[in-house]
Structure 1
């Protein structure tokens, strides 16, 4: 009878072996998308994409949430923690040092021009401000990072408090309108709320536009729940930003190798 760990590894590799599911995972690793968008990206009928998403959700590799903008629309997002756990476990089944070799390869860096990243949300008060602070801290300022909004207000006190608990100081940040940045070059523009995605302006020369469908923690009415929501949002942003750094560094290495 097959060992349970081996069975899980086989099931994981079987999921990845399907071209549609694999293509969806690759896209969701970068940006949250709706079914219609995924259908266009992977060039498959909506029903095929919906079936693939159902398989991935059943396996815990993908989650979804209702859009803050379109009624009945859902954004699908990669469950990074679950994917990393399943990937590490399956890799160890092949060779015990595989996970270590992958980790070591991701840590290799070379001095190159700094990437420029802009986080956008509506009020530039919570999600985008925390994302800016986290990426600046995680990258040790090796990435030029900014944030802005379509209706800027003030940095939310709970955003500052939550970042303090993670030893990230965002007191020097301010809310800004995205118009301040329209004449600047960015490699990546990342919208962290659904409304911002719908109104995001065009930035010439942009390498990639990315969307993370993250609910607004400031919109939670109960005070205790609001504090929890801020910490959950910060944790989600931290996980996604760490993975984004891996993707960016991998692309930079690939580009350097082709020169």
Structure 2
């Protein structure tokens, strides 16, 4: 019989600290800036920044410059990295805790009241329609989803259309960008901004608990003809959408029990 390990896995060491766990919990819901984390957790900025650095060094949190204000950065919890770290942690504890790599199928019975989701960016030509299409694809119409922009472009970016068609089998060629003013008066369970600029001016389409932010860089920033960037953006958004599904499932369950 082998001797027990004297050192906890890296994920346990990082996540076990109360403040780092609070940071991870907050960032699991929405991308946030340091000052927002300071206000949310009631801790000094230098302490928040120190623990964010440790989480970044551990590969659990990433940071990206705000496209609205370059002096700001949005922090994001990499849930895929957390999944891999948790898997390794479980396997280190006991072989029985290794995952079986199966994903539960969605429930056969669609609830009467489905959650509603609005994705928002500036031009509604790439990021938000990609998110709309990915969520619709993954839920097969189980979720009512729409996208809009603050300054919609005349048409969808052809690279966004191509990235979805060639890599995910989704065709949105017939879709047209829409202005969020066309949704005035509507309420959504979740409003998710994918653009730092749009986040600052987005109207109140949802209660505060339903407003989330995904800080996704504009794929056109690397040049309008850089198709690989659109492919990476579509994949990154799909990862976010995949992690959103359990949240929407919980919303469904809450609707049913009320």
- Give me the TM-score of the superposition, normalised by structure 1: 0.89
Shift of 1:45: 1.2
Residue aligning to 1:188: 190
Distance 1:256 1:186 in 2: 14
Within 5 Å, give how 1:117-132 maps onto structure 2: 117-132=117-132
Matching of residue 144 in structure 1 with residue 126 in structure 2: no
Tell me how far 1:101 sits from its aligned partner.
8.0
- 1:117–1:206: structure 2 CA closer, same or farther, 3 Å change rule? farther
**Cα RMSD after superposing both structures:** 2.5
Question: What's the TM-score once normalised by structure 2's chain length?
Answer: 0.89
Residue 202 of structure 2 aligns with which residue?
200
Specify whether residues 128 and 2 from structure 1 end up closer, same or farther in structure 2 by C-alpha distance, changes over 3 A only: farther
Paired position in structure 2 for 1:46 = 45
In the TM superposition, what is the alpha-carbon distance from 1:71 to its structure 2 partner?
3.0
Q: CA–CA distance in 2 between the matches of 1:99 and 1:169?
A: 37
Q: Distance in 1 between matches of 2:47 and 2:21?
A: 13
Residue 13 of structure 1: aligned partner: 12
- TM-superposed deviation, 1:82: 1.2
Question: Matched residue of 1:164: which SS?
Answer: helix
Cα distance, 1:131 vs structure 2: 0.6
What secondary structure, in the 3-state scheme, does the structure 2 residue paired with 1:168 have? coil
Whether the 8 Å CA contact 1:115–1:144 is kept in 2: the answer is yes
5+ residue gaps, structure 1: none
Q: Is the 8 A contact 1:119 1:146 kept in 2?
A: yes
Distance in 2, Cα, partners of 1:92 & 1:108: 27
> Residue deviations 1:204-225, cap 9 Å, x none?
54641111111111232273xx
Partners of 2:149 and 2:39 lie apart in 1 by: 28
In structure 2, relative to structure 1, the CA distance for the partners of 1:174 and 1:96 (3 Å cut) is farther
Residue 210 in 1 paired to residue 212 in 2? yes
| Partner residue, 1:155 | 156
Aligned residues: 253
Corresponding residue SS for 1:120: strand
What is the CA-CA distance between 1:246 and the residue it aligns to? 1.8
Contact kept? 1:188, 1:206, Cα under 8 Å: no
In structure 2, stretches of 5+ residues that fail to align are none
Aligned to 1:176: 178
- Structure 2 vs 1, CA of residues 237 and 94 (structure 1 numbering), >3 Å: closer, same or farther? same
Q: Secondary structure at the match of 2:62?
A: strand
Going from structure 1 to structure 2, the CA distance change for 1:131 and 1:41 (only over 3 Å counts) comes to: same
Q: CA deviation at 1:27?
A: 1.5
| Structure-2 residue corresponding to 1:233 | 233
